[in-house]
Amino acid sequence: MSLKENLKYYCAFSYLSINPRIKAKLFEYFDYDIKKTYLADKEELKKIKEDLNITIPKDYFLKKSKLDIDSCYKEALCDKNVGIVTFEDELYPPLLKQIPDFPLSLYYKGNLDNINYKYPLSIVGSREASWEAKITLNNILSGFRETDLCVVSGLAYGIDAQAHISAIDNKIKTIGVIGSGLDITYPMQNKHLYHKIEQGAGVIFSEYPLKTKPLPYHFPQRNRIVVGISKGTLVAEAQMKSGAMISANLTLDYNRELMCIPGNVSNPNTVGVYYLIKNGAGIVCNSGDLLNYLDWDIIRKEETFKVPLTDLQKKVFEAVSIEPELFDNIVSKTKETIPDCMVTLTELELKGLIKQADNRYYKII
């Protein structure tokens, strides 16, 4: 079978919205032959479904009968910026093959050749993340500046976005896994992150074909890919009932390393974190802790590395004294506009260089 014909069946199968574990079990049963898997008829599946302990959806064959594999292939890869990597390819994430509900294929945007799967770390957390969690996460990742660490997250609000931002700022490759087609940016506020990742900072993966909307059940399915790509998962804030906790439980199910960033005990977003810690999750406060838990030998920069700053960031940072400084004084010293100063102070806070107390800012020593 030609490579193109092979890809047609992978694309067509991606249009069938059935449980990923069922797809994976069928694919394994048919010796990882995508054509045999896709073309299996009712009689064949009827004979094996009990052996595989799976339930074939009643409308499975009806949906499949309405698909044309040539049309699926043409539509799925009509965007020249979209590629596909399959289970058979060398560039398919190696650890992802080990989970029981692996995706048969992944659509992607970005440069897949630049991704090093040697040190993949998934980072999950609250969409309503605190400044403290964002700063701590950034400080941890800054210890891996310009190394082969690969940060994997879900391109959502909060911790996900911060994980990707910190990776990009520290010249670490990053993988975003989304719950929609690659032609849909969700949430729209992360459009700049999508663009940066596509333009060289990493890769965006989706198991869904173009035009697939970000439906609620797609995100728990997406989480298994985030976790499955990585050797370990770092949780930065999580409520008990949250996507981050789903990812944490998947990490344990897949026998991967689960770690947490401890936070303010009065913050409701740390309830899940401390539950996980009490039940054996590792505690991570710095980059060294990560290396110890994951048994990695990444050579890091010195902890006193120089944080890269823009000219405006340097100007505002220099205007902040060691003693608490009023916001109005910072504006006066820099002679910059109030909006520019506010945005820049927030950026410096996320880099872990200053801390806010009421309306005053001061350097972190």
pLDDT greater than 90 at residue 329: no
pLDDT greater than 60 at residue 270: yes
Confidence (pLDDT) at 318: 80
* Paired strand residues for 123: 234
Q: Tell me: the pLDDT tens digits for 132-172?
A: 899 899 999 999 999 999 999 999 999 999 999 999 999 99
Query: Which residues have CB under 8 Å from 316's CB, separation 6+?
Result: 330, 334, 336, 341, 344, 345, 348
* Paired strand residues for 356: 361
pLDDT greater than 60 at residue 292: yes
Between the alpha carbon of residue 54 and those of residues 43, 93, 270, 294, 314, the distances in Å are 15, 26, 37, 34, 59
Q: pLDDT exceeding 90 applies to what percent of the chain?
A: 76
The label of the residue with tokens 């609620």 reads 216
Do 273 and 235 touch, CB atoms closer than 8 A?
yes
Confidence (pLDDT) at 322: 59
Among residues 219, 207, 215, the alpha carbon closest in space to that of 182 is found at 207
Pull the structure tokens for residue 84: 């596909």
Domains of the chain, residue spans: 3-76, 112-294, 311-363
Confidence (pLDDT) at 303: 46
Confidence (pLDDT) at 350: 79
CATH topology of domain 112-294: Rossmann fold (3.40.50)
- Mean per-residue pLDDT of the chain: 92
Q: Mention the CATH class of domain 311-363.
A: mainly alpha
Instruction: Look up the pTM and report it.
Output: 0.85
Q: Tell me: the pLDDT tens digits for 39-91?
A: 999 999 998 988 899 999 989 999 999 999 999 999 999 999 999 999 999 99
* Paired strand residues for 149: 119
Q: Tell me: the pLDDT tens digits for 204-260?
A: 999 999 999 999 999 999 999 999 999 999 999 999 999 999 999 999 999 999 999
* C-beta neighbour count of 133 within 10 angstroms: 24
304: pLDDT confidence band, cut at 50, 70 and 90? very low
Which stretch of DSSP H or E encloses residue 119? strand 119-125
Among residues 308, 288, 307, 289, the alpha carbon closest in space to that of 299 is found at 288
